[in-house]
Amino acid sequence: MIPAAFDYVRASSAAEAIQLIGQYGDEAKFLAGGHSLVPAMKLRLAQPTVLVDIGRVSDLSYIRDGGDHIAIGALTRHMDVEKSPVLAEHVPLLAHAAGHVGDPQVRHRGTIGGSLAHADPASDLPATTLALGATYVAEGPNGTREIAAADFYQGYFTSALAPDEMLTEIRVPKMGGAGWSFQKFNRRAQDWAIVGVAAWQRGSECGVGLVNMASTPVLASSVATAVAGGASAADAAEAAAADADPQGDLNASVEYRVHLAKVLTRRALEAAAS
């Protein structure tokens, strides 16, 4: 399978990429690692007429200590997030979740910015950064703005980014020694989660993100409220699907997804608390 024909231009900086995407208009798309876009183009699920390759904007590949948060460049690959000593120390949940994305070949090419911008509710990093209360930085023709992860996801493959805006940085608050757990349930190796749970907990405070439980990643606020009210992991997990709106598909019915969300949330909270 070969994608439909398109024009290809290469950007060497974020500013140039934004200028190029503006110049080519609605039919143009950014190409980062290409590990969501190229498969979609091969299947004709996406048919951009122009690709603006941002894969060589190397100054957007970094992981830096920003004081109370860690700043990650949008072009940082999953493998670099997974192996980062800075993240292992300050945001181990994100490093661990990145190690569960696809397989090593995918992690050598795919980027965190591409994963978040793609806004697939079945992807691991949107729900994980949502649970961690991350802020995304977007750059457009009119400058830079910050978007809270909680405001970013609007529906299947739809984010708050304007077509001419580029994600440049992800800022993730340091976890400050909180306990954490990432639970991914899938049937085949390398696959997306049928349901996944990313959770951290510090005393009675916690954050729980759900993968593949609605048209967007879900912040399970009801679970956090229950934990704050002193509920046990098992009792709090009963509220796992309260903020979700799962759909059935060939892998799982709605009921099965709700069941998985509860079981995985309980396991995640138990692991995060221990």
Partner 1 sequence: MEITVTINGKSHTADVEPRTLLVQFIREQVGLTGTNIGCDTSSCGACSVHVDGEAAKSCTLLAVQADGCSITTIEGMAAADGTLHPMQQAFMENHGLQCGYCTPGMVMAATSLLAENPNPTEEEVRIGLEGNLCRCTGYHNIVQSVLACAKS
Ligand X SMILES: Cc1cc2nc3c(=O)[nH]c(=O)nc-3n(C[C@H](O)[C@H](O)[C@H](O)COP(=O)(O)OP(=O)(O)OC[C@H]3O[C@@H](n4cnc5c(N)ncnc54)[C@H](O)[C@@H]3O)c2cc1C
Residues that bind partner 1 (CB under 8 A): 1-8, 31, 34-35, 38-39, 41-43, 51, 53, 55, 79, 102-106, 108-109, 189-190
First to last CA, the chain: 48
- The partner in contact with residue 115, picked from ligand X, partner 1, none with C-beta cut-offs of 5 to 8 angstroms by kind, is ligand X
Q: Which stretch binds ligand X (CB under 6 A): 109-117, 228-236, 246-254, 256-264?
A: 109-117
Instruction: Please tell me the distance from the alpha carbon of residue 88 to that of residue 4, in angstroms, as a whole number.
Output: 41
- Closest of 23, 33, 205, 232 to residue 116, by C-alpha: 33
- The partner in contact with residue 44, picked from ligand X, partner 1, none with C-beta cut-offs of 5 to 8 angstroms by kind, is none
Q: Which stretch binds ligand X (CB under 6 A): 80-88, 119-127, 128-136, 249-257?
A: 119-127
Q: Is residue 180 within the footprint of ligand X (CB under 6 A)?
A: no
Q: Which residue type is seen at 241?
A: A
Site for ligand X in 71-100 (CB under 6 A): 74
Q: Which residue type is seen at 171?
A: R
Q: At closest approach, how far in Å is the CB of 170 from partner 1? A: 22
DSSP annotation of 6 reads: -
Q: Is residue 34 within the footprint of ligand X (CB under 6 A)?
A: yes
Q: Is residue 32 within the footprint of ligand X (CB under 6 A)?
A: yes
Q: Measuring CA to CA, how many Å separate 123 from each of 38, 39, 74, 156?
A: 16, 15, 16, 11
| Contact letters for ligand X, residues 36-55 (x by CB under 6 A) | xx-x----------------
- How would you class 146 by CB atoms within 10 Å of its CB: exposed for 0-12, middle for 13-18, buried for 19 or more? exposed
Residue 237 tokens, joined: 């997990």
Q: What is the SS3 assignment for 214?
A: coil
Size of the site for ligand X (CB under 6 A): 29
| Nearer residue to ligand X within complex by CB, 131 or 167 | 167
Instruction: Please tell me the distance from the alpha carbon of residue 44 to that of residue 84, in angstroms, as a whole number.
Output: 35
- The partner in contact with residue 4, picked from ligand X, partner 1, none with C-beta cut-offs of 5 to 8 angstroms by kind, is partner 1
| Nearer residue to partner 1 within complex by CB, 106 or 263 | 106
Q: At closest approach, how far in Å is the CB of 241 from partner 1? A: 29
Please, which residues have CB within 8 angstroms of residue 39's CB and are 6 or more apart in sequence? Answer: none
Q: Which residue type is seen at 93?
A: L
Q: Is residue 217 within the footprint of ligand X (CB under 6 A)?
A: no
| Residue 145 CB coordination number (10 Å) | 13
Q: Which of 125, 226, 237, 264 binds ligand X (CB under 6 A)?
A: 125
Q: Is residue 190 within the footprint of ligand X (CB under 6 A)?
A: yes
Please, which residues have CB within 8 angstroms of residue 228's CB and are 6 or more apart in sequence? Answer: 204, 205, 206
- Closest of 245, 220, 260 to residue 127, by C-alpha: 220
Under the rule (CB under 6 A), what is the footprint of ligand X? Answer: 29-37, 39, 74, 101-102, 106, 110-111, 113-115, 117-118, 123-125, 161, 166-167, 190, 192
